[in-house]
């Protein structure tokens, strides 16, 4: 559960870093069938379920690399690959600190149809809540939540949802234990692992050969 006091205390203890490097690690494949298992929380995906390419992105809401990818690269991927039925995209939660967990909780509470829109806004306004003094974290998040239609009561209830808190962290734990993820962003493209921030050209090189 993330009460106001618990979130602020945990955030202070976590000493959130303003910049987290892309992690270099061995490129290892994962069986697509293993990736397809949602785990503790249901997947919220974009695109057609029968798309020839399935992408799973493990991200943290406080990861600057994830935010930059979301802003600079993902919109073109969505337009060119997801909206045209070539790629199904699934983001999975891998929070690196309590603030990231809270961000994902708000995205989940926004509802399936607003999940990615909430993610986009949180990334776009990351500086207003992820890398501020602890006293400014919740006010910054509340302002964003209000833009998505949350009342203050709904905001507080969302961050106090014990089951959701546990579920998001269970998604992270499964990613770490089963898929050996230790940094964000990490992508799996039809099971092929790509660690760290990727460019549009790198994505296209990885994907185009998989599309008939």
The rounded Cα 180 to chain-centroid distance in angstroms is 17
Give per-residue pLDDT as tens, 24-57. 334 578 999 999 998 999 999 999 999 999 999 9
pLDDT at 201: 97
- Sequence-distant (6+) residues with CB within 8 A of 131 are 16, 18, 62
| Per-chain mean pLDDT for the chain | 90
**pLDDT: which is higher, 1 or 187:** 187
Q: 54 burial class (0-12, 13-18, 19+ CB within 10 angstroms)?
A: buried
pLDDT tens-digit readout, 56-109? 999 999 999 999 999 999 999 999 999 999 999 999 999 999 999 999 999 999
Instruction: Read off the pLDDT of each residue in 178-194 and give the average, rounded to a whole number.
Output: 96
Helix, strand, coil shares, percent, the chain, to 5: 55, 10, 35
Rounded Cα gap, residues 82 and 77, in angstroms:
7
pLDDT of 15:
37
Residues composing the chain: 212
Kindly indicate whether the domain formed by 28-36+45-210 is annotated with CATH number 3.40.30.10. Answer: yes
Is the pTM higher than 0.85? The answer reads: yes
Cis peptide upstream of residue 185 (ω within 30 degrees of 0): yes
Task: Please state the domain extents for the chain.
Answer: 28-36+45-210
117-122 average pLDDT score: 97
């Amino acid at each position: 559960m993330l009460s106001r006091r618990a979130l602020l205390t945990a955030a202070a203890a976590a000493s959130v870093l303003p910049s987290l490097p892309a992690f270099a690690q061995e490129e290892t494949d994962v069986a697509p069938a293993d990736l397809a298992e949602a785990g503790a929380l249901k997947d919220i995906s974009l695109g057609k379920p029968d798309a020839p390419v399935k992408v799973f992105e493990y991200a943290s809401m406080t990861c600057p690399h994830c935010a930059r990818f979301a802003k600079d690269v993902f919109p073109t991927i969505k337009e060119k690959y997801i909206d045209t039925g070539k790629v199904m995209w699934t983001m999975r939660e891998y929070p690196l600190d309590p603030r990231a967990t809270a961000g994902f909780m708000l995205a989940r509470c926004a509802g399936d149809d607003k999940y990615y829109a909430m993610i986009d806004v949180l990334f776009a306004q990351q500086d207003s809540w992820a890398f501020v003094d602890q006293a400014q974290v919740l006010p910054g998040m509340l302002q964003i939540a209000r833009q998505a239609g949350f009342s203050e009561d709904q905001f507080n209830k969302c961050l106090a949802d014990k089951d959701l808190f546990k579920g998001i962290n269970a998604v992270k734990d499964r990613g770490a234990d089963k898929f050996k993820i230790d940094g964000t962003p990490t992508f799996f493209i039809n099971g092929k692992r790509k660690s760290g921030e990727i460019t549009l050209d790198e994505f296209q090189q990885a994907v185009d050969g998989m599309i008939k």
